[in-house]
Structure 1
Amino acid sequence: MGVEFEVKFRLPSGGWHSFRSLQELGRFRLKPLPPIQVHDVYYDTAARELLHAGYGLRFRTSKGRTVATLKTLATVTPEGVQRRNEIEALLPSPTLHVHAWPPSRARDTLLQLIDTLPLEELFVIEQYRERKAVMQGGRFLAELFHDRVELRAGHLTETWYELEVERRLDADEEHLHEIATLLQQEFGLDIERRSKFHRGLKLRERLDLTRLSS
């Protein structure tokens, strides 16, 4: 089981244009990484068994690979650090038949939570991610993402930009705090405490309400 640590920042509707030219941040150096396109689909049962158990299930497809990730719901510190546990399984094909997944802790945990109940799509997130490696003394401490996010639930959509700093395994939480503080102090960025999953659930709730009222 991995543990994800990240801090998010709200950005204006056009994004943060200074991101591309940013080469250093305090004592850290920023190294450009190739941008990526990410396609995420979130699932749960009709009765939301996973959500009630404190989990979210995401299928992420990028560069031709699909990874299923079972995530605990994020806790957020006063400093804005979002922390969650996650279990991953690489899928040969993005099937919702969990019994057909390769043996993994993710498959076993998911079956314990939902047994044979069918999964249904909650919402879809498309992201175009510009990336930079946050380096210090040859150590790769964090990834800095400039994301254009498009969220879809049925016919409802939302689009926004955000900046995300995600800690790498070679770093500790203090590095993440320092990087986040520098971004706040030098550029006046505001912390975003909502996760994409949380925003997706809110949009899905709106969709369900419109379906009930129609």
Structure 2
Amino acid sequence: MSVEIERKFRLPEGGRIRALDGVTLGAGDELSLRAVYFDTPDLVLARRGITLRRRTGGHDEGWHLKLPGEGHAREEIGAEILPGASTTRVPHLLRSHVADVVKRAPLVPVARLDTARRETPLLDEGGTTVALLCEDQVTVRRGTEEHAWQEVEVELTPAGHEGDLDAISRALEAQGAQAQPATSKLVQALGSLLTQRTEDQPRSAAQVIGDYLATQVGMVQAMEPEVRADAPDAVHKLRVACRRLRSVLRVYRALMDAERTEPLRTELKWLGEVLGGPRDAEVLRERLHEGLDLMPDEGILGPVRERLATELDARHAAAHAAMVAALDEERYAGLLEALTCLLTDPPFLPGAERPARQVLPRHLDRATRRVSMRWAAACAAKRPEKMEFAHEARKKAKASRYAWEAAIPALPNAERAAAAWKQVTESLGVAQDTVVSRARLLELTAAAAEAGEPTFTYGVLYGRELAHQDDARGVADRAVRIARRASRTH
């Protein structure tokens, strides 16, 4: 971390600095700089006086995070631009320094500044560079908007001190330069956006859905370090964010450009499958150890705990390693780019600009009908196919649940409906977990038998899982009926 001390000035129209009393102007350098500034969609960082940028060109290429200091001073934290790295993937180091401010909101490009700079070293009588004089022609672009201005910055070098800066400031003012507030280029670029107030008016479907998508993209960005470190529940949270994104893009797809959203759904499905390996291993380990804990000691015959710990821990470790390798792939980097574009260039069609309370209900009705059809098929199916149909119903119920979650700001019954569908997905989730655990128990039983170990305990655990499946289906049937009633939109 370093401390940046600088002052800003504006020159008269057509003004140019030729000489300054008390310092010598060294050989100037012409630079072309491009800085892309990142912030949350509602500009939380800029409102706090914090800037985060990715700069190319000049002597300090890289990522820069600037935090407010005292007076004209700012603390600066940098990170290098890695070869081949995504241009929109904020380094985890920098995000960690603003985590208490942004929480788990997404960080996306909010402005691009191109600067034509003339940088001149200012030397004292001994020839030491005490400051840098930067004469900037700045052009800012936000979407299709563009405007430009000129400014002068004087930045102290490590060899300079406040007295040098005061003397240089007086010399500039003597040439007609006007001192300016210590306002970042980003704040100047954003202008009135930082003071706009949200009007109390009906929100469009695009706004409601867009806010929900932004929350999930932020979760994907924020959870990656914890997922890599195998922090408790981290994989589950990231996987749920992927499901929420896929579900909302599916249920409300008629409101969006499918050529953009369908490929994104495919990539989110891939990431969900990658995360599924370690997550399924976590759930399996928890379920089987819980089953053992509920059994009396006399029912545990042989080294069951040891075998469960050894084999299930190994399975989880292998799945986690494979997941981390996938997060290092270009495919994952491309997915993060696409998620950023989802927010900076939303894919909504004109129909999504209508009020959400008018637009969303019919899409939610369709989602409810899809669950009802799958659940009816599951109830009518014979036992071998029953869980397969129930699993399909569970996936449709998840889509309905998350679509209702997205609609909470717009529809009065959305929170109740989302909670009702959550009960459906959780009960069917328990039933599906028993399918996975029983299959694994059969493998463990075979391995124990081959090693000459007792297999009784594995059979007891298998029976317990089968009973849980039947119980969960009964709970799910009641939950589906309740959720359908809660989801009525008219």
- TM-score bin, normalised by smaller chain: 0.7 to 0.9
Deviation at 1:7, TM superposition (A): 1.3
Structure index of larger Rg = 2
| Structure 1 letter corresponding to 2:78 | E
Q: What is the CA deviation profile of residues 68-108 of structure 1, one whole-angstrom value per residue up to 9, with x for unaligned ones?
A: 111124765xxxxx32111111121354334xx4x75x353
| d(CA) in 2 for partners of 1:91, 1:113 | 24
CA distance in 1, matches of 2:133, 2:23: 12
Match in the other structure for 1:36:
31
Task: State the Cα deviation string for residues 182-203 of structure 1 (Å, max 9, x = none).
Answer: 1112x12111213312212216
RMSD: 3.0
Question: Cα distance 1:206–1:49, how it changes in 2: closer, same or farther (>3 A)?
Answer: closer
Which whole-Å CA distance do the structure 1 matches of 2:59 and 2:133 have between them? 22
Question: Could you say which residue in structure 1 is the equivalent of 2:4?
Answer: 4
Task: For structure 2, list consecutive stretches of 5 or more residues without a partner in the other structure.
Answer: 204-352, 354-490
The CA distance in 1 between the partners of 2:134 and 2:58, in whole Å, is 17
Secondary structure of 1:32's counterpart equals coil
Which residue does 2:186 correspond to in 1?
Answer: 197
Q: What letter corresponds to residue 140 of structure 1 in structure 2?
A: T
Q: For the structure 1 residues 166 and 63, does the alpha-carbon distance in structure 2 shift closer, same or farther, using more than 3 Å as the test? A: closer
State how far apart, in whole Å, the 2-side matches of 1:4 and 1:113 are.
Answer: 21
Question: Do the aligned residues in 2 keep the contact of 1:46 with 1:120 (CA within 8 Å)?
Answer: yes
Give me the whole-angstrom Cα distance separating, in 2, the residues matched to 1:124 and 1:50.
16
Moved over 6 A (4+): 206-209
Q: Aligned residue for 1:183?
A: 172
Of 139, 152, 165 in structure 2, the residue corresponding to residue 150 of structure 1 is: 139
In the alignment, residue 83 of structure 1 is paired with which amino acid? A
Paired residues for 1:112-131 under 5 Å: 113-114=101-102, 117-131=105-119
Q: Which of 31, 38, 52 is the equivalent residue of 1:57?
A: 52
Q: Cα gap change, 1:156/1:188 in structure 2, threshold over 3 Å: closer, same or farther?
A: same
Question: 2:29 is aligned with what amino acid?
Answer: P
Q: Name whichever structure is richer in strand by fraction.
A: 1
Q: Is contact 2:8–2:180 with CA below 8 Å preserved after alignment?
A: yes
One of 79, 86, 89 as aligned partner of 1:97:
89
Percent identical across equivalent pairs?
28
1:70 partner letter: L
Point out which structure has higher relative CO (alpha carbons under 8 A, 6+ apart).
1
Normalised TM-score (structure 1): 0.78
Name the CA distance, whole Å, in 2 between partners of 1:171 and 1:48: 34
8 Å Cα contact 1:8-1:162 kept in structure 2: yes
What is the Cα deviation at residue 145 of structure 1? 1.0
Larger mean Cα displacement after TM superposition, 193-202 or 45-54: 45-54
- Count of residue correspondences: 196
